[in-house]
Structure 1
């Protein structure tokens, strides 16, 4: 998206994208608290155009983000109480999320090591070598595009992030951090 405005602050229908996202989590019957992780330079803007305007009841804290997405998630995890049961990690710019999808992911996560929302891949996916010669075509019937929220027991996702930091490993999503510890993550 070509814009000088961060995606989550773009207005659609008179409302910032992030406000729609927070609304879905506010309406979810299985979400107790919300921690917003925002670029430090945009925290005051977030408070002014979203937090102060919409009076969210579940908003616990606003935390400054990190250099990479993974650092930002870790910053959010660190402010949660250690007795936290489950954590739903969501990209604030993904505003089409619904309370029903959130609730389904959270419900499924109670009996697992983690759950991610995902969509089946419709495109054919190719792997190439360094010369851009196709070396493999994947069976798309078994491929999924990872989305958010990604929901995990707090103890597992915190351990996964701590281990990734220790190993200087950067995953493409939170599930990849959990997977590398040997845990199975489900798709919903």
Structure 2
């Protein structure tokens, strides 16, 4: 890939669903914190030129320590996040200079290099792209009483993952417009969509799980071990 990319790794959330005192991104997965697995993956990729890591203010020191300990020299900045994920992403974007950027959840350490490459290629072709997988289950729309009101066509539904990839100038414009409008989106793609910019999906991998609940951690350990046994490399 000719383009050089910047990456915003978002890891500022505290999270309550994990049920642990420690924030989920700092829990151990195999031999390293989850966040270090994620950072190490992007560190290894040749076309990634720079990384900004956005964390809680109270975690700046230990994250800077891990950057040094694990030789993560592509991490150009470790920054304190904002009140919402959206604000944290904006902080991270402002620390990057690459023309193309990805935004990735710090608690998705199992994304593959092939999936990241596919997402970036789709973004360069189309201007913006997100990793996603087709929904396996039937989805129901339910009202406030619990009554089913519709059943969307499953063939049109995709579960969205990260990374999400954009031209940096487009994503900055989208974040600025959202700030001006007081709009909070569920992901970065939703902000870009408000600019009437088409966002395409690149098919990802069901193993690219977001570690958010207690049952996710043993699943991640199992997937990581299977990948090692299959010779797919280590994280």
TM over 0.5: yes
Match of 1:96 among 100, 103, 110: 110
Q: What is aligned with 1:178?
A: 192
Q: What is aligned with 2:42?
A: 25
**What SS is found at the alignment partner of 2:48?**
coil
Q: What is aligned with 2:23?
A: 6
Aligned 1:1-188 pairs, distance under 5 A? 1-48=18-65, 50-81=66-97, 84-188=98-202
- Alignment root-mean-square deviation, CA: 1.1
Conserved 8 A contact 2:51-2:96? no
Conserved 8 A contact 1:28-1:103? no
How high is the TM-score relative to the length of structure 1? 0.94
The Cα shift of 1:113 comes to 2.2
Partner Cα distance (2:145, 2:172) in 1 = 39
- Number of matched pairs: 185
- Stretch deviating more after TM superposition (149-158 or 53-62): 53-62
How high is the TM-score relative to the length of structure 2? 0.76
Structure 1: runs of 5+ lacking an equivalent: none
Cα displacement string for residues 41-61 of structure 1 (whole angstroms, at most 9, x for unaligned residues): 11112123x212101121111
Partner Cα distance (2:126, 2:56) in 1 = 31
